[in-house]
Amino acid sequence: MNDLLIDAFEFCRLKERREGGLAVADLPRLAQESVDGEGSIRWVLQGGTGKHGHPRLELSVTADVKLICQRCLSAFTFDIDSSSVLVLAPDEKSADEIDAQLEDEDVEVIVGSHSFDVRQVIEDEALLAIPLSPRHETCTAGPAVVNAPPVPEKESPFAVLKNLKK
């Protein structure tokens, strides 16, 4: 557990690399999004510096997570394969300045620390990879719903009253 708490700036300066696995059940927000909390996440974290000399972390996350299809409401396995570049800043003000300087949408500027929780960043990356409305590639229940017989229209209560008047 302590191996997931690092000095982020030192990690980048030394160009360290760590990798490992975490159970989905050990990541509360991700477990809440999944159907059963089963599965695991493989991750790789590489430290270094960017072209402007800022410390940066490169994170790769892969996993298979069971989600609920929002079209047919059945469970399916969603493959997460995501990577990101995180540039570290010492504080919020510096983070805003670095972000404006880089002007790169593919790079996220975050506040680093000497007690940086890697588990949090891994969970964030996995959550960001999950679509807002997860669906099967080809939903088996989708066509059955579309081809369902039409529901007969109910007669308007006013039309019934009009017929009674006659």
In tens digits, the chain (166 residues) has pLDDT values of: 456 888 999 999 999 999 999 999 899 999 898 888 888 999 999 999 888 888 999 999 999 899 888 888 888 888 999 999 888 888 888 877 887 777 766 778 888 888 889 999 999 999 999 988 888 877 765 444 444 555 566 777 777 777 777 6
Residue 39 domain-assigned (yes or no):
yes
Residue 165 domain-assigned (yes or no):
no
Residue 63 domain-assigned (yes or no):
yes
Residue 145 domain-assigned (yes or no):
no
Q: Which range of residues forms the domain containing residue 63?
A: 2-137
pLDDT of residue 53: 83
Q: How many domains does the chain have?
A: 1
Residue 159 domain-assigned (yes or no):
no
Q: What is the pTM of this model?
A: 0.73
Instruction: Tell me the CA end-to-end span of the chain in Å, nearest whole number.
Output: 81
Residue 76 domain-assigned (yes or no):
yes
Query: How buried is residue 145: exposed, middle or buried, by Cβ count under 10 Å (0-12/13-18/19+)?
Result: exposed
| Residue 55 to residue 69: CA distance in whole angstroms | 39
Query: How buried is residue 15: exposed, middle or buried, by Cβ count under 10 Å (0-12/13-18/19+)?
Result: exposed
pLDDT of residue 2: 58
Residue 28 domain-assigned (yes or no):
yes
Measured CA distances, 85 to 58, 70, 77, 108, 125 (Å)? 5, 30, 26, 6, 11
Residue 153 domain-assigned (yes or no):
no
Backbone Cα Rg of the chain: 25
- How many residues are listed for the chain in this entry? 166
